Chains A and B, each alone.
Chain A
Amino acid sequence: MSIRVGIDVGGTFTDFVLLDRRRGRLAKEKYPTTPQDPAVGVLTGLELLLQRQGLSLQEVTQVVHGTTLVANALIERKGARVGLLATAGFRDALEIRREVRFDMYDLGIEFPEPLVPRHLRREVQERLNPYGEVLQALDLEQVREQVLALQAEGVISLAVVLLHSYVNPTHEQRIKAFLHQHFPHLYVSISSEIAPTMGEYERTSTTVANAYVQPLVEQYLRHLQEGLQARGFQGDFFLMSSAGGTMTAETAAQYPVLLLESGPVAGALMSQYLGRLAGVPNLLAFDMGGTTAKGCVIRGGALRKAYSIEVARAYRYKKGSGLPLLIPAVELIEIGAGGGSIASVDALRRLRVGPESAGADPGPACYGRGGTRPTVTDANVLLGYINPEFFLGGEMPLDVEAARQAVQRGVAAPLGIGVTEAALGIHEVANEHMAQAFRLHAAEAGVDIRGHDLVAFGGAGPVHALGVARRLAVRRILVPWGAGVFSAFGLLISPLGFDVAQTALTPLGELSADALEARFAALEGRVLDMLRRARLAPHEVTLARAADLRYQGQGYTVEVPADGLDATDPVRELERRFVQAYTRLYGVAPRDAPLEGVHWKVTGSGPAEPLDLRLAREEAPVAGAPALKGYRDVYLPEAGGFRPCPLYDRARLAPGETVVGPAVVEERESSLVLFTGDVARVDAHFTLVVTPRAS
């Protein structure tokens, strides 16, 4: 029987979740993250967890790991010295970008420094045309000279990006093979493996980012695996990819850029899983922590995938000021900077929340670590939504007076309003921003979110859940047990899986059934090969095909599933599916316009492991013990003031019990705030299912 551990390394804490199928137990643990070498915190915390469970590492059959290492390295610029080898004439793609300003009025904007400075960007003579035909042959001798020069400059990791390599990768592959033979210690990332997609700027950006973090990730994973082995671990070790699949350490070390959203995506997966348990196919996942807030739209039980994301915004967090990365990822929405978002008043006397964040250090004013600017958390403390004596289960008392002063100085005084009104304003504006981000994203996805359920988790999620939910007119709010380590659970339920995609502009009118089949079969071969290396047998694998199509002449595509196509005329059926999807999104579809395929994609995944949240029962005390802890003054907008509200201990609420708002339900890492008329019921999975008061 298996014993599996999920480990989620975050900015401040490393979360652990253990599923012991043998004894039917589900346990959680939190341990401070050790930023210098996160492996230390992981190994120490893991030993602590196992010790408390009376287990040894030898007994653990599988560890699944999520980490923010890659995102942090890119944001904090802590990667390796990287060189770039590009087609002659195109080494500057990284710096020329798309040439557009992300803010038309601000004459002071800045773009991120390229990850490779210009003197480390070298050229090689070779050239393909857009059909992949060789116009100029590759000169490997020149490659050798350039790489020797880069090594002399201290380059240890190299990105290779040649024009049109997404159509024909042979030149890049030959360079890679040559370098492995002649420069065995050099890390090499080639663009046709990392991001085989048209567009030299974004492809270069992605390949370079991979090269930049590769040495760091490889070393970290080596330390961690050595540490695990030294402690007797003999099981499988996997990492979570941004796409929500798991990958082997070997793959992760080769394509580390795929780990970018490794941590946050687990929360989205877990929300999807919770929805499945509850029989709810349409969900919004709402994850609000101390430093970030993320959202995700789950539609028909499926997560939306993105193939391009932006990381490390360099100028006032503005969209367009970061590094574009072409990686498959679960589409997560940046919906705010979490509890640490700073509130201020702008020149138009408008209350603003974020994008600046107080982060973990100094953190909100109420943390008492020197923060003086008002944050969302400060507002929540003043409104009575967060219990200053029971933050992190009482381990971290909060300074209410500091919160009051910060809100007074930063918002109330400039607006000429009272502190409570200011705090309420901050709370409401934060809710509105997050609701807006959801709405905008939903519009982009062509999804009407009314009637969805909202899963709220992360430290601050349950505090804002009802406010956000009401603005979105959702049906119910689900607050899972262990909301604070919810993402770590997600690591345990993800099946092993890989995505591959290929860009090939193909007019559907010119595509034969055989060619279509051959194209998907080739992609499936790659996926199966990756899964085989991860020790999965072909019969355990589920494959899914999809194509991104558009009308010829358009620039944006619509994804269409390509499984189970009609055998006699699969291309015609693909067209039919596209027109349906397009009409659903945009209302009308042009008549008789020819279609073309742009991206061809295959996803492969192994069997999913079920996770029974009811196993949590040993951690949750039995019903009957008094769940009502006392009363506290909480600001109720519907009453226009503070009212004493009952306070419940979440750990003492048993399945079937009901809490009627106004009330606060506290657990160690978070509190759920219910307003007048909201009703929460504990379901069999210990999830608090909240029905908001009818508006």
Chain B
Amino acid sequence: MLDDEVTLTMQWDRLVSIVDEIFLSLIRTSFSTIVREAYDLCCCIFDRQGLLLAQATQSAPSFIGTLPQTMQHLLRRFPPETLHPGDALITNDPWLGTGHLYDVSVICPVFRGDELVAFTGTVTHLPDIGGLGFSAVAREVYEEGLRIPPMKLAEAGRLNETLLHLIRENVRVPEQTLGDLHANLAANQTGARLLLALMEEYDLKRLDALSAALRTRSEAAMRQEIRRIPDGRYRHQLQLEGFDSAITIACCVEVRGDEVFIDFAGTSPTVPAGVNVPFCYTYAFCAYAIKCLTTPELPNNDGSLRPVHVTAPPGCILNATPPAATGGRHAVGHFVPFAVWGALAQVVPERLAAETGMMNLLNFTGRDLRGRPFANICFSAGGFGARATKDGLHTTMGPSNVAVTSVEALESTTGILVGCKELRQDSGGPGQFRGGLGQRLTFQNRSAWPITVACFGNRTAFPAAGYLGGKPGARREIRIEGKLVHPKGRHLLYPGEQLLLPGQTLTLLDAGGGGFGDPLARPVEAVVADVRAGYVSPEAALRDYGVEVDTTRWQGRRVATRPQG
């Protein structure tokens, strides 16, 4: 009959296809644009010990790392022997969940008969959770909304009406918020049904053997790849804009045999604003960073997490403790992979991409052209960093990974007119391989009502760094009526300056990705092609690449061969 190797392959593939079905079910029933279009979600299957077995292909990188931790927290609160068929566990606690209140983690036990065999879990960004509304300006977590400790959302198939009632009375859009909780439940149930069908088909009483086999494989493969990185302690430090002063992230990555130890001693303390990062989120992005440079093509599971160890001093901004505000924890947390990669760029640059221009997020609330209220989270991507053998991708998310809705959809649901959405010339970091371009957008308030704008921006003070002689990308800029505004402000608190009044325009210049390698080593033809496409201006071609471009015959000539100044 079948070789065991082949059986394992087939069952493993099936697990992945089951989580992908959970994903489909989730986005098709969701009421949130941010879930179904931006994919700010994650779907997972765990074994009966709560160890991660499989994740949906399209999941947020951070949640992939946080949900396994949430699973363990929930199991501690609700030990397996206390669970029943039809139970559903829930929390949005920033320290046990995803780092902020806006995401809810829902986990359901899967029973085969009376026996607990697995868990299915989903994370989604909620339409609202009360409090200040989605922004980065709270000073304590209490201002940010309703905190749901580990609880049962359903018990033996019956919904926890008390909890639902409490949520309903605490959020701005109760139908959508409760609708999305239903979507989580439905998706988890879909997963359970398919998982049981798989067990039926292969006559598996338990998943333990399958779980052990695939976790062992993934762990072994990861360890093998880590072993190929030279042992040593590699340090890196980077800065990002804070509120009063810059925030420093200090990182030491120690590679020892087949394990990696990451520590953030020396990182700035927490700040009285909603950008502090609970440790679960820091850990998630460390695990993600190591996965990318070791076994990117292999499926992720608990085994991939084992060889990675992370520490950060309590009270630093990457290990914030309650009651620190964490609403915009991604605005700082997204720098974690760059800290790790920056350290390892000293030894394995060929596996990496230079820093990216990162994601920008604007949360608009106001009224549309016909006076109906709206809330719209508008994402946009900077340029992706250049790679060792390839240019960076234009306007591509990293390290986060959300999709952007069309301008036509944005205009249809808001009172905003987008004047342009175009590639931003000269924003890609110069290099032998050029960083990806950022973009330029303008948002005009065409309604008769003011629009509140909450910003979660970055890279306004510190651009995306290049690697191996590559230059940084252009910085991000956010302006209202031409005037620079704070990248993490909420433009309601300071009237007159930061509210987008009727007729006013917000201009966003998204940051470019960093370059890779010496720009003077970029072939002349590539520079000419960039100028012809308008990615690079003739002036920048001369200044950054030392290439004089004849823009009538489209020919170029290198006039500088050594870095200047």
Contacts and interface: CB of A to CB of B under 8 A. Distances in A.
Given A108-B390, A429-B9, A555 B33 contact: yes
Nearest to A557: B28
A439 B17 contact: yes
A588 interface: yes
A89 B422 contact: yes
A622 interface: no
A97 B404 CA distance: 8
A89 B27 CA distance: 31
B20 to A, nearest CB: 7
A93 B396 contact: no
Interface in B341-398: 351-353, 369, 379-381, 387, 390, 393-398
B61 A587 contact: no
B294 to A, nearest CB: 9
A101 B535 contact: no
A106 B296 contact: yes
A509 to B, nearest CB: 13
Interface stretch (B84-92, B175-183, B231-239, B259-267): B175-183
A553 to B, nearest CB: 4
Given A89-B419, A90-B421, A99-B381, A432 B10 contact: yes
B218 A99 contact: no
B306 interface: no
B13 interface: yes
A199 B352 CA distance: 33
Contact of A348 (B2, B217, B404, B535): B217
Given A99-B379, A200-B408, A350-B9, A440 B20 contact: yes
B420 interface: yes
Nearest to B291: A105
B6 interface: yes
Interface stretch (B46-54, B163-171, B409-417, B472-480): B409-417
B2 A424 contact: yes
A163 B408 contact: yes
A567 interface: no
Contacts of A130: 369, 408, 411-412
Nearest to B12: A350
B176 A553 contact: yes
B27 A104 contact: no
A129 interface: yes
A23 interface: no
A110 B176 contact: no
Interface string A161-181: 001101000000000000000
Contacts of A163: 407-408
A119 B532 contact: yes
Nearest to A101: B401
Given A351-B9, A436-B14, A555 B36 contact: yes
Contacts of B288: 104-105
Contacts of A99: 379-381, 395-397, 402-404
Contacts of B418: 89
B560 interface: no
A352 B8 CA distance: 12
A556 B35 CA distance: 12
A443 B418 CA distance: 38
A593 B6 contact: no
Contacts of B394: 95-96
Contacts of B224: 347
A393 interface: no
Contact of A101 (B9, B176, B218, B397): B397
B297 interface: yes
Contacts of B28: 556, 585-586
Given A90-B422, A348-B298, A590 B352 contact: no
Nearest to A582: B29
Interface string B193-222: 010000000000000000000000110010
Interface string A333-356: 000000000000011111110000
A390 interface: no
A371 B233 CA distance: 46
B228 to A, nearest CB: 12
A335 B265 CA distance: 50
Given A129-B411, A201-B406, A349-B217, A91 B422 contact: yes
Nearest to A163: B408
A88 B61 CA distance: 35
A104 B13 CA distance: 18
A435 to B, nearest CB: 9
B408 A590 contact: no
Contact of A110 (B2, B221, B390): B390
Contacts of A421: 3
Contacts of A93: 407, 421
Contacts of A352: 9
B225 to A, nearest CB: 8
B6 A428 contact: yes
Interface in B284-302: 288, 291-293, 295-298, 300
Given A119-B532, A553-B179, A105 B292 contact: yes
A621 interface: no
Given A440-B20, A556-B27, A348 B419 contact: no
Contacts of B419: 89
Interface in B59-81: 59, 61
Nearest to A416: B5
A132 B24 CA distance: 33
Interface string A128-166: 011100010000000000000000000000000001101
Nearest to A120: B533
A685 interface: no
A637 interface: yes
Interface in A576-590: 585-588, 590
Interface in A75-111: 88-93, 95-101, 103-111
B37 A555 contact: yes
A374 interface: no
Chain B CB within 10 A, most for which of A92, A103, A164: A92
A675 to B, nearest CB: 13
Contact of B186 (A96, A428, A588): A588
Interface string B32-58: 010011110000000000000000000
Interface in B401-457: 401-404, 406-409, 411-412, 417-423, 439, 446
Identify the interface centre among B12, B20, B28, B421: most chain A CB within 10 Å of its CB: B28
A437 to B, nearest CB: 9
B30 interface: yes
Nearest to B61: A104
Interface in A323-380: 346-352
A131 B411 CA distance: 10
B5 A415 contact: yes
Given A95-B394, A105-B291, A505 B5 contact: no
Interface of A: 88-93, 95-101, 103-111, 117-119, 129-131, 135, 163-164, 166, 198-202, 346-352, 415, 417, 421, 424-425, 428-429, 432-433, 436, 439-440, 443-444, 505, 551, 553-556, 585-588, 590, 593, 637, 640
15 contacts: A90-B421, A98-B404, A99-B379, A99-B381, A99-B402, A103-B296, A104-B61, A347-B298, A351-B9, A424-B6, A425-B6, A436-B17, A554-B36, A556-B29, A590-B182
Given A198-B409, A444-B24, 13 more contacts: A95-B423, A96-B422, A98-B404, A100-B397, A100-B402, A100-B404, A130-B369, A199-B406, A415-B3, A505-B412, A555-B37, A585-B28, A587-B186
Nearest 10 pairs of A and B residues by beta carbon: A89-B420, A100-B403, A105-B296, A99-B381, A118-B533, A425-B6, A130-B412, A555-B36, A199-B406, A553-B31
Interface of B: 1-3, 5-6, 8-10, 12-14, 17, 20-21, 24-25, 27-31, 33, 36-39, 59, 61, 175-176, 179, 182, 186, 189-190, 194, 217-218, 221, 224, 288, 291-293, 295-298, 300, 351-353, 369, 379-381, 387, 390, 393-398, 401-404, 406-409, 411-412, 417-423, 439, 446, 532-535
